[in-house]
Every structure is written in C-alpha cells, then in structure tokens.
Structure 1
Amino acid sequence: MIFRDSRYYYHVIALHGIYLIDLYYMKKNLQAIFNGISVCLFLILFYFFFFHNEKIAYVDSAKLLNGYKAMTDARGEYEKKATTWKANVDTLMVDVQNQIKKYERAAGSMSASEKQMAQELIRTKQKQLNDYQQALQQTAGEENTRLTQKVISQVNSFLERYGKKHNYKIILVANQTGNIAYASEGMDITEKVVEELNNEYSKPTK
C-alpha cells in the first residue's frame, strides 16, 4: 500500500519533531537580542575610560530577566499557548494515522474507486496537518517576538528612568558573551533594578 511507505511515517514524525514548541526557543531569542547589545559595549567602555569620574553601572541581563516577574508571566503565557498548539498538532496527527489504519483494514475489500477516494482523504488530512504545522511555526515565532519585545521595552524604559533618577551617566548591559571581564562589586546594580522593577510591575494599574 502506498501509505505504508516508511517515508510517509518518517515525514509525519519529522514534522512533529520540528514544530513542537518549547521555551528554549524563547530564551534563545532573548539571548540573541542582548548579544547584539554587547557589540557596542567595548566602544562605550573605551569612551568612558577617559571619563572615569562619571557614574557608571551595569546590569546582568540573564539575572535581570530571570528575576523580573513580567518575564516569568510572559513565559507562562507562552507555555500555555505552546501546550494548546501541541495538543492541536497531536489531534491532527492521530486523525491522519487513524485514517491510514482504517484504509489498510478495508483496502482488501475496496473497489478501485473506493481506494482512490480513501487515498485522497488521507492526502487531504495529511495536507491539513502540514499546513497547520507551517502556520504554527510562524505564529509561534511572532508570539515569541511580541512577548519578548514587550518585556524588553519595559526594561529599557525602566532603566532610562532609573538612570536619570540616580544620576547615572550610563547603565551597561552585561551577558555571557559581553565585554565586561571585570567590574567592581558596587557597579553591579542588577539586584536593585530587579527589586524596583518588580515593585513597579506589582503595583495595580490605575
């Protein structure tokens, strides 16, 4: 039977594996955003080497985002949607597999026209599964970007206000691939920023 071809099963399983959504994708996107910021750090630090009396501080991007309640909520929202998406894919996949099994059980007693109709139904269901997975990949990426950018915008806006309030000349963002090899302990304001960020986030919107 053409639908018992192992290539078909491999295709379905491969598609299932490619598009399963998890939070690693979200974290990876976040890291890419902050990696871009690190490119500018060396030039900024070089500039301020000649202005060492200016008030400078930095935040650890990973600690900040992991400690920020808004990011925790965003990840939770994404995870709920990912669970729904996965359930939809599983349902469509089971439908395709059941249709194949039904065809295989009855194929021996089917006429040529009945076989053709059954095969066409399987192809239609397979296409629905493939189309949904492709659309889901785009939807997941867009949702990830939307939630990520929303949090990043909140953080950037807060850091701007925080810097002005505390008279910082500049607040740098450090990450695992950044250019800050060493800084005195007092320059790391991550904990203070996270605390104030969360206090502001927890306040009810007027």
Structure 2
Amino acid sequence: MSLIILCIYMFFLQKDEIAYVDSSKIIAEFKGAEEAKKAFEQKTKSWKLNIDSLTTEVQNSIKKYEKDLATMPVKEQQLSKQLLDSKQKQLLDYQNAIRQKAQQEDGKLSQNVVAQINAYLVKYGKSHQYKLILIANQSGTIAYAREGLDITKDVIEGLNNDYTNGR
C-alpha cells in the first residue's frame, strides 16, 4: 500500500524541480533594466551635445580660417593652421574617449542588471525549491519544454516587486 502512495506522490503530486526563464523577456520587462537604459541614454545625450558643440566650434574655426586666409601673413597662416589642426585632433581624441567611456558605462550597467537578475533567480529558486532554473535565450538553447515549466512571468513580477520595494 505504501508503495502505491509513494508512486502516486512521485507521479502526480511532486513539483517540477526544473524550470526555465526567457532572458530576453526578463531584460525587456525588468524595471531595473529599463531605468538603467534610460540613465545610459541620458548620459549619451549629454555626451552627444558636448561633441556637437565642439564640432560646431571646430567647423566655425575652419570657416573663419578659410575666410581670413587670403589676408593673413604667412606666419599667421601657419600658426592658425597649427591651432586648427590641434583643435581637430582634440575633437577626435574627445570623441574616441567618449566612445570608450560609453562602452564601459554600458558594460557596467549591463553587468549590474544581470547581477540583480541572477541574485533574484537564486532567491526564487531556493524559495520555490527548484533544483535547476535554465535560461532560454534567442539562440534557442531550449528546444522544447513542457507547458508549465516557463516561470518567466512569475520571475519578472517578483523581480520588479523586489526592485520597486528595494529602492
């Protein structure tokens, strides 16, 4: 009799201990990721404005140089050309530095978001007694999963609740 009860428990009542989440949905719907993206976009907007104003300044200097070139003495032409070349180099250096800074900032924000998600998945997995939570991504790492194993919606809701309450 106890063998029958054990079989019934094992077959019908035992909880699935493996589940998966869709990483692209989590990233798309996690409020922390949305806010990190908005903060990054704000920074890049500011950097772009600085680059645009410096570019305009260099372009105006070029126009002034070209306009005044015919009336300048040779020595002044050479000095103005050197100054102009220096401004152009500074602009290129600044653009490259901002590009690198943007890449680093984006990487740092992405790592922070992924760390928050991973920490929540560990907490969620332990509290729901999962042995394993897999991550499905656009590469198709999970070819098939029985209906009910996708816990993405629950994870997103809990992650967003934790994020909103943890601020």
- TM-score normalised to structure 2 length: 0.88
Residue number in structure 1 paired with 2:120: 158
- 1:103-114 equivalences under 5 Å are 103-114=65-76
| Structure 2 stretches lacking a partner, 5+ long | 1-14
Distance 2:27 2:63 in 1: 48
Is residue 119 from structure 1 mapped to residue 86 from structure 2 by the alignment? no
Return the TM-score normalized by structure 1. Answer: 0.72
CA contact (8 A) 2:25 2:152 kept: yes
- 2:134 is aligned with 1:172: yes
Q: Deviations over 1:66-91 (max 9, x none)?
A: 11000000000000001011111111
Q: Superposed, which structure 2 residues align to 1:1-206 within 5 Å?
A: 55-205=17-167
SS at match of 2:148: helix
SS at match of 1:105: helix
Task: Tell me if structure 1 keeps the 8 A contact 2:18–2:130.
Answer: yes
2:6 aligns to what?
none
| 1:178 Cα offset (Å) | 2.9
Q: How many residues align?
A: 153
Q: 1:186 to 1:178 in 2, by over 3 A?
A: same
Q: Secondary structure at the match of 1:172?
A: strand
Aligned residue for 1:26? Answer: none
Kindly report structure 1 stretches of 4+ aligned residues shifted beyond 6 Å.
none
After TM superposition, give the deviation of residue 179 of structure 1 in Å. 2.0
Moved more, 179-188 or 77-86: 179-188
Q: Quote the Cα distance in structure 1 between the aligned partners of 2:84 and 2:67.
A: 14
* Whole-angstrom CA distance in 2 between matches of 1:204 and 1:135: 34
Distance 1:82 1:157, change over 3 A: same
Of the two, which has the highest radius of gyration? 2
Unaligned ranges ≥5, structure 1: 1-52
Deviations 1:106-145 (A, max 9, x none): 1111100110111011111101101101111211111011
* Alpha-carbon RMSD: 1.2
